[in-house]
Structure 1
C-alpha cells in the first residue's frame, strides 16, 4: 500500500443527494412561479368546433394576443398590464411588437358575450398594426350526442 493511504478505500459511487436537493428546490420554484406567468384577463371563450392550430407554430415565438372582455375593453399581452388599453395605444403597441417579430402569431381572444362590433374592432386594430393573418382563440365544443356515444 502506498504511504498515507492506509485503511482508506476509493469510493466508486457518486453522491446524488445534493443533486436531488437542487432538483427539488427547482421544482418548488417552478411550481410557485408557473401560475404567476399566466397573464391576461378572465374571458369566457365561445365554444366552437373549429380545427385546432398546430402548436409547433407557436413554440418559437410568443403569440401577440389581443383580448376583448364582455364590456368591449381591449387588453394586449404586452408587459404585465391588467388595465384596458385604448384603440390607439393597442394599435401602436401591436405595431411595435410586430415590427420586432413580423412572423409572430397574432390571435384575438374574445369573450363569448362580447359584441360582434367589439371583436371586429379588435381585428381592425391588429390589421392596422400590420398583422397579416389573425387567429381566433376558442374553447373546444362539447358534443352532446343522443344515445351516449
Structure 2
C-alpha cells in the first residue's frame, strides 16, 4: 500500500496540464502604471522654467515669407501675389521666385465664375515651374465652421 505520485493508479497522468494561454494581466498592469506615470510627468515637461529674455537689436534669424499665392481673377487675369502676369510669363516668373525664395507651398485660387479647366491649367503651369507642393484655396460657406 504505497502512495504513488504522478498518477492515479490507472497509468494515466494526473489532472495537471500546462496552461497554453497567454496571461496578459501582468502586461495590462504594467501598461496602466506607465500610463499614470506619463500622465503625471507630461505637464511638467511642457511647462518649462519661466525666464525673462533680454532685449537685443539683432535681426531675427528667419524672416517670415509672404505666402506664394497664384490667383485667377474673374476677368481671366493671372496674378502672382498682387502682380498681374500673362500666361506665357507665369512659369518663368514662378521659376525666378523659386530661385530667389526657395521651395514653398503655392496656394492657387480661382474665381468661381472661371471654368474648371482654366484653374487646372494654372495648376499644371505651377507644377511645371518646379513647385512640388500646391494647395487650392476656397472660402468656407457662411454659417459653417463657426
Higher relative contact order (CA 8 A, sep 6+): 1
- Which of the pair has more CA radius of gyration? 2
